[in-house]
Amino acid sequence: MNQPQLIIKTNPPTWLKILVIILIGLSIFFRFTNLGQKIYCGDENWTSVAISGHTVAELQQEAADSKGTISITTFSKYQHINPERGVADTVNYLITSDPQHPPLYYVLVRLWAQVFGDSPTGVRSLSGIISILTFPSIYWLCLELFDSAIVGWVAMALMAVSPLHLYFSQEARQYSLWMLEIIVSSAALLRAIRQENQSNWAIYSLTLALGLYTHLFTVFIMIPHGIYIIIQQQFRFHKTLINYLLATIVAFLMFLPWLNVIIKHLHTAISLTSGYTIKWIDNPFELIAIFLIRLTRTFFDINLSLSLGLWSSLELEGPVIYTISELILSLILIIYLVYLFFNNSLNKPVILVFLLGLIPGMLLIASDLFTGGIRSIQIRYQLPLCISLEILVAYVLAFYIFQEKTWIHKISQLMIVVLLIGGLISDVNFFKTSNWWIQSSSTLIKETSEFIKKLDKPLLVTNNSPINLGAILALSNYLPKLPLLPRADDDMRPIKQDYNQIVFMYNNSSLFHQIAEDEKYDLKVIRVLNPPPGGLWEFVKIAHK
């Protein structure tokens, strides 16, 4: 790649455009088909609570006020829009119950649901629409980076078949919007540098503010942007650097109202995210291996991971052959891209792509290695790195597949065919399944609902912790007739009605231990999660002889 980069700056061939248009058409089909068939998981149910305008405290109070057995559908009102509550109540939910999530996506989805409905299909469709906007956005970013339409078309092809993008386009959360803002803010920065004027810098500042109001990790995008400006200006205090600093300051000033909310409710935010800071993986090499393995699922993923809950390990990532192949592919990809970086064969703007992936990824994994935690292996936090990998792979492939017929030209052609076919296989697999490993709670919801459906006369016991209430909200979509017994963990009152099976999703309450000592019941352990005390336990009433 030391020769002049003339070929990738020519007009894309017609066959490439037709291929990409077909792939985008297929991706749109996959995005909007079976939207309601996927399990509406725990996190998505909290999106619905936000839309309803209720708060977690109200939901907990509802559970605490119940005097006995109630229907699980008692909580259905927390899953639907309340005409008496508006957008301000959605924002109030976030302030009081979920302050670590900024309000932009939730305000948008509330307004969207008022028009298109608050069913899982209606709520998820917003993410699908947003994800379509990433195609022209990635094309624009590639034009700003490489001045190459060919790279833009190849990047759109890779994004169209990416199982990662498909998953987030069908999830009722903010990550599809965050990916769009990562791409747009980076393109806006390059445009502001290229065309130095106030309007371009104002647009860039606005994209940063919107990013901050979507996800707090947008700060990790601002850091590589700043480092790139410093490198691009050769460490001189130039007009461009001054404009960047002013744009960044303005973005932070616009974000101050929500920053104040986070500071005031910091305890709530920390308590809701503390699970990711616990050291669930003791071996640092295992953590790094899982981190590398999951990066390859940007391109190929057939849902073989078995992880449930927060805890994960290398053996839960899938069959040994599968994980080893992913690990080797990830290492080859990263080593080759690092080689390109230090070989001085990339143009200056590509440094931004490297920084965009490297800085957030390394900050998270360094934090986990030195302080404990599993934030680095949560793929939704690594979206900047995943996007960077797609852009860099698109750049390399676009450069080589149009070169003279050499061995590396043939390898590049084979690689793009493999990536596109692998992505399509992943998409078809995702199309057919009802749950995906990324949202591990969906697996437990599926197992629990299928298990309870087979029981004769079950009762589900729950407490009012947010985790268990989230599971109850999810189960209410699949078990509308299930009787529910909300109980405080220290409540020792006996169960009045006669049930053949009593099911618990946690094992640390007084009632659980009381029934465990009752000779009339036989305890069956169905599933034990890590971290405790989550899982699934069944008490079966012993028939009298």
Beta bridge partners of 535: 528
Confidence (pLDDT) at 113: 96
Three-state SS letters, 312-341 = CCHHHHCCHHHHHHHHHHHHHHHHHHHHHH
Write down the pLDDT at residue 189.
96
18 or 396: which carries more pLDDT confidence?
A: 18
The backbone torsions φ and ψ at residue 360, rounded to the nearest 5 degrees and listed phi first, read -60, -40
Tokens for 199?
């309007």
Burial class (CB in 10 A: 0-12, 13-18, 19+), 370: exposed
**CB–CB of 50/94 below 8 Å?**
yes
What angle (nearest 5°) sits at the alpha carbon of residue 418, between those of residues 318 and 383? 60
Q: What is the pLDDT of residue 3?
A: 44
Q: What is the pLDDT of residue 480?
A: 87
At residue 198, the pLDDT reads: 92
Please give the Cα distance from 123 to 109 (Å, whole number): 7
**Is the C-alpha dihedral spanning 275, 276, 278, 282 positive or negative?**
positive
Distance between CA 291 and CA 318 in Å, rounded? 14
Strand partners, 523: 539
The rounded distance, in Å, linking the Cα atoms of 139 and 183 is 10
Give the distance from CA 198 to its chain's centroid: 34
Q: What is the mean pLDDT of residues 310-317?
A: 72
Q: DSSP per residue over 222-233, as a string?
A: HHHHHHHHHHHT
- Would you state the pLDDT for residue 2? 44
Cα 109 to Cα 69: distance, rounded to the nearest angstrom: 33
Separation of alpha carbons 455 and 159, rounded Å: 44
Residue 175 has pLDDT above 70, yes or no: yes
Mean of pLDDT values over 49-66: 88
The mean of the pLDDT values for the chain is 88
Q: What is the pLDDT of residues 340-367, one digit of tens each?
A: 766 655 557 788 999 999 999 999 999 9
Which amino acid makes up residue 190?
L
**Residue 377 pLDDT more than 50?**
yes
**All residues at 6 or more sequence positions from 139 whose CB lies less than 8 Å from its CB, including other chains:** 149, 152, 153, 155, 156
Per-residue pLDDT reduced to its tens digit, 111-146: 999 999 999 999 999 999 999 999 999 999 999 998
**In the structure, what pLDDT confidence band is assigned to residue 259 with cuts at 50, 70 and 90?**
very high
Q: Rounded to two decimals, what is the model's pTM?
A: 0.92
Phi, psi of 361 (to 5 degrees): -65, -45
Contact 173, 378 (CB under 8 A): no
**Under 8 Å between Cβ of 169 and 128:** yes
Q: How far is CA 152 from CA 397, 433, 543, in A?
A: 11, 31, 68
DSSP string, 470-486: HHHHHHTTT-TT-EEEE
Please indicate whether residue 492 or residue 366 has the higher confidence score (pLDDT).
366
Look at residue 7 and tell me whether its pLDDT is greater than 60.
no
Under DSSP, is residue 507 helix (H, G, I), strand (E, B) or coil? coil
| Per-residue pLDDT tens over the stretch 88-105 | 999 999 999 999 999 999
Please report the pLDDT score of residue 498 as a whole number: 77
